Structure 1
């Protein structure tokens, strides 16, 4: 992600925002995200934006004005907003911390609202024996409150450090590539359906 405005998608391709949710030192998220982005990049119907929250510098303390909710947004929030608004769909790459998802991810979600509405969200998770799925289940509740649509299909890596080779790719590439392709296919279906409907019937009207 750069500070310039995101390009427009003019044809039937979808714009997919892949969001790295962890900002911890030594995090594994970029490895997982780069693999998934590489898989998505093989498709000719997707334009991809890789958004790393560690580089977004979003404030930890939320400011909100009920009269003008966008008027007091800090500059990092204003910078990220057009990238989220331009996306037709999202994939959240998240670990599991203490049976939940990172606080940095919750902060990023809470800074925005319209940018998520009536768009599909998929998940790529990683963790210990649960593979980050407990974090995903909680994220589904959060995005439901924001009127986003979460897709059923999920890519999950249990004991994630054992699942990846030194080349940054899953050792069981056949299984995980197929799971990623299924997720991307479902996201594409929902992204086009919801984008077309938003164009004809703006959300909430």
Structure 2
């Protein structure tokens, strides 16, 4: 049996963002973990415009090619990790937009989070995301990774340097996500969209 496919989604799209470096660190840990076939998905590269589909996503009747591409990307994954910044006590608009584009593609799939920001370490972003992913029928992991004072986690040359214990925290999140993914796989094959 092949490994479950994990998509690590870089949620921030703004210039100067920290998300790609944080996601790169988590991706390297996921590869070392070896429980997943892990890949990075950068919402800045996906380039979704503000939701522009005329029909509700529950119908799966997509008019635009960018939506069909996004649908195939999400449908191909068995689990997700969203790497999200905390903006104004919540998560960013690009992440919400990406989630809202689709419906059936998310259903039943496990999800975990890596939040980063200031004093709260992205915890408020993760908390705000929970009701959204639950409404989409996803299965959130009990654990999350929180990185407070994100700017202090970077060296002068722009390299992300995780605080002591962060690798272990992230590995625990991967363990839980793999457990959820395995339980989901054991309950029967997923119905792919399209």
Q: Does TM, scored on the shorter chain, surpass 0.5?
A: yes
Q: Name the SS of the counterpart of 2:69 in structure 1.
A: helix
Q: Which ranges in structure 2 are unaligned for 5 or more consecutive residues?
A: none
Runs of 4+ displaced beyond 4 Å: none
Write the distance in 2 (CA, Å) between the matches of 1:55 and 1:14: 23
Q: Which ranges in structure 1 are unaligned for 5 or more consecutive residues?
A: 1-10
Question: What is the aligned-residue RMSD (CA, Å)?
Answer: 2.1
2:91 to 92, 101, 110: 101
**Aligned equivalent of 2:134:** 144
Q: How does 1:53-202 map to 2 (within 5 A)?
A: 53-65=43-55, 69-165=59-155, 166=157, 168-172=159-163, 174-199=164-189
Contact preservation (8 Å) 1:120, 1:150:
yes
Contact preservation (8 Å) 2:85, 2:125:
yes
Offset of 1:54 from its aligned partner? Answer: 0.2
**Residues paired across the two proteins, number:** 191
1:35 to 19, 25, 43: 25
Q: Name the SS of the counterpart of 1:152 in structure 2.
A: coil
Offset of 1:94 from its aligned partner? Answer: 0.2
Deviations 1:107-166 (A, max 9, x none): 100001111111110000100001111010010010010111111111110001102334
Write the distance in 1 (CA, Å) between the matches of 2:58 and 2:130: 28
Contact preservation (8 Å) 1:170, 1:176:
no
Offset of 1:69 from its aligned partner? Answer: 2.9
Change (3 A) 1:171 1:114: closer
Contact preservation (8 Å) 2:113, 2:144:
yes
**Aligned equivalent of 2:35:** 45
Deviations 1:153-182 (A, max 9, x none): 11110001102334734242x401101100
Change (3 A) 1:58 1:167: closer
